[in-house]
Structure 1
Amino acid sequence: MQKMPTPLREQLAEFSASQQVPFFVYDLDGLSKHIASLASDEIKLWFAVKANPLSRVIQTLDKQGMNFDVASTGELEQVLAQGIGSDRILNTGPAKSRQQLSHFLQRGVNTFVVESVNQLALLNELSQSHNKRPQVLLRVQLRFEQGDDNPLGGNSLTPFGLGAQEWSEICLADYPEVDVVGLHIFQWGNMLDADKLISLWQAMIAPLTALAQALDFELKVLDLGGGLGIPYHESEQQLLWPYLAGALSEIKRQAKVNELWLELGRFAVGEYGYYVSEVIDRKTNYEQELLVLQGGINHLLRPAITDQPFPVSLLRDSAESAQSFHIHGPLCTSLDKLGELPLPKDVSVGDQLVFAQCGAYGFTEAMPFFLCHELPAEVVFSQGRFEVVRQAQPASSYLC
């Protein structure tokens, strides 16, 4: 698990003492080095903007040559607003309306992942009216002997793509205004077992190449989506990129494709973000220790969805031994729990806690409007200094 560098922690403690909490902070210096370490001539990398659409995060990735996977008009406009060309944008997502597809074509986007026959027909129609011929990847949903629960569905029926049998029943000649160049598959998220992930990728080669043959098109691009995880507990293993990159190069060779794509979200940015919140109350109830924080799942929803907390620490030095605390937020629901986690025994009201691994699926995945609390600030750490990118906003900023 990525540890917060000691100099950053010391500076954060000093900064947060004068900063209104809660807030998110992103280590752009660390993020930039991490993305640079992923560079590969064998793999084309896309950033899944859903993981963190903050402008400064996008700008940092842009400087390292990352491309961008967007799934909505809002994400598209956010990426374009950073000066990124539409030729580096890929449109994904299960729901693509006529209005959205038309907007993407007007804005110059030329690469689409298509998730259904209806989407393919609609994109074909709109491409003709816009005098475009975009390149298309068909999203495929396969079934494997893999029974783990997973946020992307795994083997479950999901809105993502179609099965190989369903796709094989179409005739690509019926869609002459689009150029089908590849296949896309992405069914598992936050995978930490490298060998299992590689075995899944390898198992995809035969059915996907067979589908391309059945549809009679040259499989130029294979997009394996993302799914690369980061640990949220010290007992969890860390994926090693060089090992995965070597396996991906072999998969590219076996599939005989010109390009192999990955869409990284959590693996790209997750370990370079933190969330700081203040302890509002401490109490003992039924012989259990509880902490109530100023912010909870209104800022960090993931623990309520996955039952897996973000790791937490006290943002000051303490010589006390650790004990278990039930950590809750301010919302009037028992769902507002950030986990049962160890902290020093002397944690008290007014202390600040820092949650790690919050660079992905933090604020924009949360439920910030419930109970009309303030929206948290977002801060970046760049070139050794902190900068507030967005100030905390009161409920009056979004209530009518």
Structure 2
Amino acid sequence: MDAIKEYIQRTGSPCAYVYDLKGLGKRAKDMKETLPEQCRLYYAVKANPDVRILETLKGIVDGFEVASAGEMDRTGRGPRIFGGPAKKEEELYRALWEQDVTLNVESFHELRRLGVLAEERQVTARVLLRVNLEENVSDSHLKMAGVPTQFGVEERRIPALIEEALEYECIEICGFHFHAMSNNLDARTHLAFAETAVNKSLQWKEDYQLDTSIIDLGGGFGINYWHPDEPFDWDEFARGISDLDTEGHELILEAGRYMTAEYGYYITEVLDVKENHGRHFAVVRGGTHHLRLPAAWKMSHPFHVEHRETWPYPFERPEVKETEVVIAGELCTPNDLLVRGEYVERLRAGDVVVFTHAGAYAWTISHHEFLSHPHPEHVYIT
């Protein structure tokens, strides 16, 4: 992008997150326009809670999926779904008071707590029962169905959960929630999962004569960090979802990473280039305390090199050519790796590495204070 090159040119020692808000807004609009009428597109705030990003998405998405009181603060009033396996009492009070928040019920204990609090406040708790499906539904990076996790209630116990929920006059079962995967890259797999979730929801509705109105598929639409030119096929998914008969239910999709990742960039300067035990290393200003995802997933983050010709020193400039290079950060740990060995035509000290697809699960999941290095600048392209 021209704006990124301009930023690099005018900055002596670049280390920044750059967000393309204009591109993000277009992405969200395009995603929403491809969906059928019964679908509602929510943004999963956990992917990136940056206030400028939330401001960009307000008025485009139909609501927000939040997982804390802090995320409720950032999103303000409006349709929200509150998920998470460990909701604090003050968060439950807050959600009940604001009335525009639908709560995921993640356990029998949480249902009982919510029932008591709602009765005390003499309000109605609008809930979705979160289902941990009996079978795994994808080969995604993280799985939350068909495997033991802290999320939701296993499918075989959902009938008992429904029966207990129906005993509370202050609890309204609005539907079911099925977030089952993270970073799934296959649209057909996602469609098969959606069909399963819809069928089970409609069956429970019939079996227990429920007045449900929502089927929440959660998110999990992936970004292909390994092969960015082979993305999740959103258009195929949207076409397929149009064929599902939800019998009047709203079908909620909670997109996070897929919406924002491509519109954030982490930019950092190469401080040194060296060889050690037969491997080439480029050491950069910054690292995993700014961008933790590649270390967490033990992957090479996608990147490209922007060359800078200015060299202020009187000695030869360190460089590598036509070889694989490991890109490491400035932390005092061998785990501070952003790239684990990828081919470069040329990379020199003083050049700039631009990490793409850094608009989700990047800055806010990182351990910012380790070694007390400066934080990166945050730049917004409007």
Give the structure-1-normalised TM-score: 0.85
Distance change in 2, residues 1:174/1:148 (3 Å) = same
CA contact (8 A) 1:312 1:355 kept: yes
Distance 1:349 1:55, change over 3 A: same
Q: Is the Cα–Cα contact under 8 Å of residues 68 and 89 in structure 1 kept in the other structure?
A: yes
Once the two structures are aligned, what percentage of the paired residues are identical? 29
Residue in structure 2 matching 1:121, options 112, 116, 120: 112
**How far has the Cα of 1:215 moved from its partner?**
3.8
Residue 127 of structure 1 and its aligned partner are, at CA, apart by 1.9
For 1:216 and 1:184, the matched residues in 2 are separated by 18
Name the CA distance, whole Å, in 2 between partners of 1:126 and 1:316. Answer: 59
Rounded to whole Å, the distance in 1 between the matches of 2:324 and 2:62 is 41
1:201/1:52 CA distance change after superposition, 3 Å:
same
Contact kept, 8 Å, 1:164 with 1:211, in 2: the verdict is no
Count of residues paired in the alignment:
367
For residue 12 of structure 1, what is the aligned residue in structure 2?
7
Residue 327 (structure 2) aligns with: 327
Choose which of 205, 215, 218 in structure 2 pairs with 1:212.
Answer: 205
What whole-Å deviation, never above 9, does each CA across 1:240-261 have from its counterpart, x for those lacking one? Answer: 322211211222x1x4242000
Instruction: Give the aligned residue type for 2:361.
Output: Y
What's the CA shift for 1:296? Answer: 1.2
Q: Secondary structure in 2 aligned to 1:63?
A: coil
Alpha-carbon deviation of 1:98?
Answer: 1.4
Give the superposed CA RMSD: 2.2
Render the CA deviation track for 1:12-70: whole Å, top value 9, x for unaligned: 3334x25x532111000111111111224331011110011111100000032441111
Selected match of 1:280 from 254, 271, 277: 271
1:161 matched to 2:152 = yes
1:241 aligns with 2:237: no
Whole-angstrom CA distance in 2 between matches of 1:90 and 1:352: 40
Gaps of 5+ in 1: 383-400
More displaced 10-residue stretch of structure 1: 138-147 or 305-314: 138-147
- Report the 3-state secondary structure (helix = DSSP H, G, I; strand = E; otherwise coil) of the residue aligned with 1:250: coil
Q: 1:303 aligns with which of 294, 298, 302?
A: 294
Q: In 1, Cα distance between the equivalents of 2:62 and 2:45?
A: 11
Say whether 1:59 aligns with 2:55.
yes
User: Contact 1:120–1:175 (CA<8 Å) still a contact in 2?
Assistant: no
Find the residue that maps to 1:347 and give its secondary structure. strand
Distance change in 2, residues 1:134/1:336 (3 Å)? same
> The residue matched to 1:282 in structure 2 has which SS?
strand
**2:234 is the counterpart of 1:268:** no
Q: 1:312 — aligned with what?
A: 303
Q: Which string of whole-angstrom CA distances, capped at 9 and with x for unpartnered residues, describes residues 149-207 of structure 1?
A: 63243432111100122121132332210210100001111111111221222233333
Instruction: Report the Cα distance in structure 2 between the residues aligned to 1:321 and 1:350, rounded to whole angstroms.
Output: 15
1:394 maps to: none
Query: Could you tell me how far apart the structure 1 residues matched to 2:321 and 2:189 are?
Result: 37
1:191 maps to 2:187: no
TM-score, length of structure 2 as denominator length: 0.89
Q: Is the 8 A contact 1:43 1:261 kept in 2?
A: yes
Taking the aligned partners of 1:119 and 1:236, their CA distance within structure 2 comes to 43
Segments of 4+ moved more than 4 angstroms: none
Partner Cα distance (1:346, 1:324) in 2: 10
Higher strand share: 2
Shift of 1:345: 4.6
